[in-house]
Structure 1
Amino acid sequence: MKHPVDIHVGSRIRQRRWMTGVTQQQLAEKVGIKFQQIQKYETGMNRVSASRLWDIAEALDVTISFFFEGLDTEAATGEDAQRDFMTDREAMELIRSYYAIPEAQRRRLFELARVLSDVA
Protein backbone atom coordinates (compact mmCIF):
# COMPACT_ATOMS: atom_id res chain seq x y z
CA MET A 1 0.00 0.00 0.00
CA LYS A 2 1.32 3.45 -0.93
CA HIS A 3 2.03 5.82 1.94
CA PRO A 4 0.76 9.41 1.47
CA VAL A 5 4.22 10.84 2.22
CA ASP A 6 5.82 8.64 -0.46
CA ILE A 7 3.17 9.78 -2.96
CA HIS A 8 3.77 13.43 -2.06
CA VAL A 9 7.57 13.17 -2.31
CA GLY A 10 7.24 11.34 -5.62
CA SER A 11 4.93 13.99 -7.04
CA ARG A 12 7.40 16.70 -5.98
CA ILE A 13 10.21 14.81 -7.74
CA ARG A 14 8.11 14.66 -10.90
CA GLN A 15 7.13 18.33 -10.59
CA ARG A 16 10.73 19.51 -10.29
CA ARG A 17 11.92 17.17 -13.05
CA TRP A 18 9.26 18.48 -15.45
CA MET A 19 9.92 22.11 -14.55
CA THR A 20 13.61 21.71 -15.31
CA GLY A 21 12.94 19.78 -18.52
CA VAL A 22 14.76 16.67 -17.33
CA THR A 23 13.57 13.26 -18.52
CA GLN A 24 13.29 10.27 -16.24
CA GLN A 25 16.23 8.73 -18.10
CA GLN A 26 18.41 11.81 -17.60
CA LEU A 27 17.60 11.99 -13.90
CA ALA A 28 18.27 8.29 -13.49
CA GLU A 29 21.67 8.65 -15.16
CA LYS A 30 22.60 11.60 -12.91
CA VAL A 31 21.64 9.59 -9.84
CA GLY A 32 23.10 6.29 -11.03
CA ILE A 33 19.95 4.16 -11.22
CA LYS A 34 17.53 2.85 -13.88
CA PHE A 35 14.75 5.10 -15.15
CA GLN A 36 12.18 2.52 -14.00
CA GLN A 37 13.22 3.28 -10.43
CA ILE A 38 12.51 6.98 -11.02
CA GLN A 39 9.05 5.97 -12.28
CA LYS A 40 8.43 4.00 -9.10
CA TYR A 41 9.58 6.91 -6.92
CA GLU A 42 7.36 9.37 -8.78
CA THR A 43 4.25 7.24 -8.33
CA GLY A 44 5.01 6.53 -4.68
CA MET A 45 5.26 2.82 -5.43
CA ASN A 46 8.77 2.72 -3.94
CA ARG A 47 10.06 4.78 -1.05
CA VAL A 48 13.05 7.01 -1.64
CA SER A 49 15.88 6.46 0.83
CA ALA A 50 17.45 9.49 2.50
CA SER A 51 20.70 9.13 0.57
CA ARG A 52 18.88 8.69 -2.75
CA LEU A 53 16.69 11.73 -2.00
CA TRP A 54 19.89 13.68 -1.34
CA ASP A 55 21.25 12.62 -4.75
CA ILE A 56 17.97 13.52 -6.49
CA ALA A 57 17.90 16.93 -4.77
CA GLU A 58 21.43 17.64 -5.98
CA ALA A 59 20.61 16.48 -9.52
CA LEU A 60 17.50 18.71 -9.62
CA ASP A 61 19.20 21.63 -7.84
CA VAL A 62 16.80 21.90 -4.89
CA THR A 63 17.04 21.43 -1.14
CA ILE A 64 15.72 18.27 0.52
CA SER A 65 12.92 20.33 2.08
CA PHE A 66 11.52 21.05 -1.40
CA PHE A 67 10.19 17.50 -1.57
CA PHE A 68 8.20 17.96 1.66
CA GLU A 69 6.74 21.41 0.96
CA GLY A 70 2.95 21.40 1.17
CA LEU A 71 2.85 18.14 3.09
CA ASP A 72 1.43 19.72 6.27
CA THR A 73 -1.37 21.40 4.33
CA GLU A 74 -2.13 18.21 2.47
CA ALA A 75 -2.28 16.17 5.67
CA ALA A 76 -4.50 18.73 7.38
CA THR A 77 -7.04 18.89 4.56
CA GLY A 78 -6.84 15.25 3.55
CA GLU A 79 -6.58 16.37 -0.06
CA ASP A 80 -3.79 16.61 -2.55
CA ALA A 81 -4.87 19.49 -4.77
CA GLN A 82 -1.27 20.37 -5.59
CA ARG A 83 -0.58 16.88 -6.89
CA ASP A 84 -3.64 17.04 -9.14
CA PHE A 85 -2.38 20.28 -10.65
CA MET A 86 1.17 19.03 -10.97
CA THR A 87 0.14 15.87 -12.77
CA ASP A 88 -1.59 17.89 -15.48
CA ARG A 89 0.84 17.89 -18.40
CA GLU A 90 -0.62 21.07 -19.92
CA ALA A 91 -0.19 22.96 -16.64
CA MET A 92 3.39 21.79 -16.30
CA GLU A 93 4.20 22.79 -19.89
CA LEU A 94 2.68 26.21 -19.24
CA ILE A 95 4.82 26.66 -16.13
CA ARG A 96 7.97 25.52 -17.94
CA SER A 97 7.25 27.89 -20.85
CA TYR A 98 6.51 30.74 -18.44
CA TYR A 99 9.90 30.39 -16.76
CA ALA A 100 11.63 30.23 -20.14
CA ILE A 101 10.47 33.80 -20.86
CA PRO A 102 13.03 36.51 -19.98
CA GLU A 103 12.33 38.01 -16.57
CA ALA A 104 11.20 41.47 -17.70
CA GLN A 105 8.61 40.06 -20.11
CA ARG A 106 7.62 37.39 -17.61
CA ARG A 107 6.74 40.04 -15.03
CA ARG A 108 4.62 41.90 -17.59
CA LEU A 109 2.85 38.67 -18.54
CA PHE A 110 2.24 37.93 -14.87
CA GLU A 111 0.71 41.37 -14.33
CA LEU A 112 -1.51 40.88 -17.40
CA ALA A 113 -2.68 37.50 -16.06
CA ARG A 114 -3.37 39.05 -12.67
CA VAL A 115 -5.48 41.82 -14.25
CA LEU A 116 -7.39 39.35 -16.43
CA SER A 117 -8.10 37.05 -13.49
CA ASP A 118 -9.47 39.98 -11.44
CA VAL A 119 -11.86 40.77 -14.29
CA ALA A 120 -13.15 37.20 -14.59
Structure 2
Amino acid sequence: MARGEDTQDPHPVDRHVGRRVQEKRLGLGLSQTALGKAVGVSFQQMQKYEKGQNRISASKLFEIADFLNVGIPYFFDGYSSRPGLAEETAPAFDHDHPATRQSLEIARLAPQLPLRKQKLILEMMREMLEDGAGE
Protein backbone atom coordinates (compact mmCIF):
# COMPACT_ATOMS: atom_id res chain seq x y z
CA MET A 1 0.00 0.00 0.00
CA ALA A 2 1.74 3.14 -1.21
CA ARG A 3 1.18 6.62 0.16
CA GLY A 4 1.32 9.86 -1.73
CA GLU A 5 3.96 12.33 -0.61
CA ASP A 6 1.28 14.83 0.44
CA THR A 7 -0.49 12.32 2.69
CA GLN A 8 -0.29 13.28 6.37
CA ASP A 9 -2.02 10.23 7.87
CA PRO A 10 0.20 7.59 9.43
CA HIS A 11 0.72 4.50 7.31
CA PRO A 12 -1.34 1.53 8.60
CA VAL A 13 1.84 -0.52 9.16
CA ASP A 14 3.40 2.28 11.23
CA ARG A 15 0.22 2.54 13.32
CA HIS A 16 0.10 -1.23 13.82
CA VAL A 17 3.77 -1.51 14.82
CA GLY A 18 3.39 1.46 17.17
CA ARG A 19 0.37 -0.05 18.85
CA ARG A 20 2.16 -3.36 19.28
CA VAL A 21 5.02 -1.48 20.96
CA GLN A 22 2.48 0.24 23.21
CA GLU A 23 0.69 -3.01 24.08
CA LYS A 24 3.93 -4.76 25.02
CA ARG A 25 5.19 -1.74 26.99
CA LEU A 26 1.93 -1.50 28.96
CA GLY A 27 1.87 -5.24 29.47
CA LEU A 28 5.28 -5.00 31.10
CA GLY A 29 4.21 -2.02 33.21
CA LEU A 30 6.70 0.36 31.60
CA SER A 31 6.19 4.07 31.04
CA GLN A 32 6.99 5.76 27.74
CA THR A 33 9.78 7.56 29.58
CA ALA A 34 11.35 4.29 30.78
CA LEU A 35 11.20 2.64 27.36
CA GLY A 36 12.43 5.79 25.63
CA LYS A 37 15.36 6.10 28.02
CA ALA A 38 16.28 2.43 27.47
CA VAL A 39 16.47 2.89 23.69
CA GLY A 40 17.79 6.46 23.63
CA VAL A 41 14.75 8.54 22.67
CA SER A 42 12.52 11.01 24.52
CA PHE A 43 9.08 10.06 25.80
CA GLN A 44 7.66 12.47 23.20
CA GLN A 45 9.36 10.47 20.46
CA MET A 46 8.03 7.25 21.99
CA GLN A 47 4.51 8.76 21.86
CA LYS A 48 4.98 9.52 18.17
CA TYR A 49 6.22 5.98 17.54
CA GLU A 50 3.25 4.46 19.35
CA LYS A 51 0.75 6.58 17.41
CA GLY A 52 2.49 5.78 14.13
CA GLN A 53 3.17 9.48 13.54
CA ASN A 54 6.88 8.74 13.20
CA ARG A 55 8.19 5.57 11.65
CA ILE A 56 10.46 3.41 13.75
CA SER A 57 13.74 2.75 11.97
CA ALA A 58 14.93 -0.82 11.64
CA SER A 59 17.77 -0.23 14.11
CA LYS A 60 15.45 1.40 16.67
CA LEU A 61 12.89 -1.39 16.27
CA PHE A 62 15.70 -3.87 16.89
CA GLU A 63 16.65 -2.02 20.11
CA ILE A 64 13.01 -1.87 21.26
CA ALA A 65 12.51 -5.58 20.54
CA ASP A 66 15.71 -6.45 22.37
CA PHE A 67 14.73 -4.40 25.43
CA LEU A 68 11.16 -5.77 25.48
CA ASN A 69 12.53 -9.29 24.94
CA VAL A 70 10.45 -10.04 21.84
CA GLY A 71 11.35 -10.92 18.28
CA ILE A 72 10.87 -8.43 15.44
CA PRO A 73 7.90 -10.43 14.04
CA TYR A 74 5.97 -9.69 17.27
CA PHE A 75 5.39 -6.12 16.07
CA PHE A 76 3.80 -7.29 12.81
CA ASP A 77 1.61 -10.07 14.28
CA GLY A 78 -2.04 -9.54 13.41
CA TYR A 79 -1.37 -7.29 10.42
CA SER A 80 -2.24 -8.29 6.89
CA SER A 81 -1.82 -5.90 3.99
CA ARG A 82 -3.73 -8.17 1.64
CA PRO A 83 -7.36 -8.70 2.61
CA GLY A 84 -8.54 -12.23 2.07
CA LEU A 85 -5.22 -13.96 2.69
CA ALA A 86 -5.79 -14.37 6.42
CA GLU A 87 -7.51 -17.48 7.63
CA GLU A 88 -11.26 -17.04 7.60
CA THR A 89 -11.50 -18.30 11.17
CA ALA A 90 -9.09 -15.67 12.50
CA PRO A 91 -10.90 -12.87 14.34
CA ALA A 92 -10.41 -9.35 13.07
CA PHE A 93 -7.84 -7.44 15.08
CA ASP A 94 -9.43 -4.10 15.99
CA HIS A 95 -6.93 -1.37 16.74
CA ASP A 96 -9.40 1.50 16.88
CA HIS A 97 -9.13 1.51 20.65
CA PRO A 98 -5.56 1.57 21.98
CA ALA A 99 -4.73 -0.90 24.70
CA THR A 100 -4.70 0.27 28.30
CA ARG A 101 -3.22 -1.39 31.35
CA GLN A 102 -6.75 -2.40 32.35
CA SER A 103 -7.69 -3.89 28.98
CA LEU A 104 -4.45 -5.86 28.87
CA GLU A 105 -5.05 -7.15 32.38
CA ILE A 106 -8.61 -8.16 31.46
CA ALA A 107 -7.22 -10.04 28.44
CA ARG A 108 -4.59 -11.73 30.62
CA LEU A 109 -6.97 -12.74 33.42
CA ALA A 110 -10.05 -13.79 31.43
CA PRO A 111 -8.67 -17.13 30.17
CA GLN A 112 -8.04 -18.17 33.77
CA LEU A 113 -11.79 -18.06 34.50
CA PRO A 114 -14.19 -20.89 33.75
CA LEU A 115 -15.99 -20.45 30.44
CA ARG A 116 -19.31 -19.76 32.20
CA LYS A 117 -17.80 -16.82 34.10
CA GLN A 118 -16.09 -15.52 30.95
CA LYS A 119 -19.50 -15.44 29.23
CA LEU A 120 -21.05 -13.61 32.21
CA ILE A 121 -18.33 -10.96 32.18
CA LEU A 122 -18.66 -10.54 28.42
CA GLU A 123 -22.42 -10.12 28.76
CA MET A 124 -21.91 -7.54 31.52
CA MET A 125 -19.43 -5.58 29.40
CA ARG A 126 -21.82 -5.56 26.43
CA GLU A 127 -24.64 -4.30 28.66
CA MET A 128 -22.40 -1.56 30.03
CA LEU A 129 -21.58 -0.44 26.51
CA GLU A 130 -25.25 -0.40 25.53
CA ASP A 131 -26.01 1.74 28.60
CA GLY A 132 -23.35 4.24 27.55
CA ALA A 133 -21.05 3.40 30.45
CA GLY A 134 -18.17 2.71 28.06
CA GLU A 135 -17.47 6.41 27.55
Q: TM > 0.5 between the two? A: yes
Counterpart selection for 2:40 from 8, 18, 32: 32
Query: Which protein has the bigger helix share?
Result: 1
Taking structure 2 as the reference length, the TM-score comes to 0.66
> 1:1-120, aligned counterparts within 5 Å?
1=8, 2-72=10-80, 75-76=82-83, 81-85=93-97, 87-89=98-100, 90-95=102-107, 98=109, 107=112, 109=113, 111=115, 113-114=117-118, 116=120
Displacement of 1:111 after TM fit?
4.5
| 2: CA distance, partners of 1:27 / 1:75 | 32
| 2: CA distance, partners of 1:60 / 1:30 | 10
Gaps of 5+ in 1: 100-105
Aligned length: 108
| 1: CA distance, partners of 2:46 / 2:105 | 20
What secondary structure, in the 3-state scheme, does the structure 2 residue paired with 1:82 have?
A: coil
Deviations 1:84-119 (A, max 9, x none): 35x1434124246x39xxxxxx74x254545657x9
| 1: CA distance, partners of 2:66 / 2:114 | 29
Taking structure 1 as the reference length, the TM-score comes to 0.73
Going from structure 1 to structure 2, the CA distance change for 1:115 and 1:76 (only over 3 Å counts) comes to same
Whether contact under 8 Å (1:19, 1:95) holds in the other structure is: no
Report percent identity of matched pairs: 38
What secondary structure, in the 3-state scheme, does the structure 2 residue paired with 1:84 have?
A: coil
Of structures 1 and 2, the larger Rg is shown by 2
| 2: CA distance, partners of 1:110 / 1:36 | 41
